[in-house]
C-alpha cells in the first residue's frame, strides 16, 4: 500500500429503504465523491433513540472513498437522507490490492 492509499476510507451509512439508498449511492458516484457504493438490503438495526429501544429495517451503504470527500458525503446526506440523525461512520482502509486502491483514488476527486 502506498502513501496515497492511506487517505482511503470505507464509509457506512444506513438508509430507511432501497430507494433512498440508490438515490444517495448514484449521486455520490456521479459527483465522484465515491468510487463505488455497495447497497446491502434487508438489514435489521436495533438501537436506542430518545430513550427507547427501536428496531428498523434498513439498507446499508458501504462507500469506497477518500477522506477529502467526507464533507461532500455529509452534505449529500443532509440534503437527501430523511432521518433526523443519519449514520455516517468512516473507517480507514488498512490494506487491499494496489490496483483496486489505485482505482478508488482515480475515481474520486
For residue 99, the model assigns a pLDDT of 96
What are the CA-CA distances from residue 24 to residues 6, 27, 34, 88, 106 (Å)? 25, 5, 10, 13, 20
CA 101/CA 17 separation, integer angstroms? 29
Measured from the Cβ of residue 92, the count of other Cβ atoms closer than 10 Å reads 11
Q: What CA–CA distance (Å, rounded) separates 105 from 53?
A: 39
pTM of this structure: 0.95
Q: What is the pLDDT of residues 35-90, one digit of tens each?
A: 999 999 999 999 999 999 999 999 999 999 999 999 999 999 999 999 999 999 99
Residue 87: C-alpha distances to residues 64, 83, 92, 101, 102 (Å): 16, 9, 17, 24, 27
The CATH class given to the 3-107 domain equals: alpha beta
CB-count exposure of residue 9 (10 Å: 0-12, 13-18, 19+): buried
What are the residue boundaries of the structural domains of the chain, listed by start? Answer: 3-107
Amino acid at each position: 500500500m502506498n502513501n496515497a492509499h492511506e487517505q482511503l476510507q470505507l464509509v457506512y451509512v444506513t438508509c430507511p429503504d432501497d430507494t433512498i439508498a440508490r438515490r444517495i449511492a448514484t449521486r455520490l458516484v456521479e459527483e465522484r465523491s465515491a468510487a463505488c457504493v455497495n447497497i446491502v438490503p434487508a438489514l435489521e438495526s436495533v438501537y436506542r433513540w430518545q430513550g427507547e429501544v427501536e428496531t428498523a429495517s434498513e439498507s446499508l451503504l458501504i462507500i469506497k472513498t477518500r477522506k477529502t470527500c467526507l464533507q461532500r458525503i455529509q452534505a449529500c446526506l443532509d440534503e437527501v437522507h430523511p432521518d433526523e440523525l443519519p449514520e455516517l461512520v468512516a473507517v480507514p482502509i488498512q490494506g487491499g490490492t494496489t490496483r483496486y486502491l489505485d482505482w478508488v483514488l482515480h475515481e474520486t476527486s
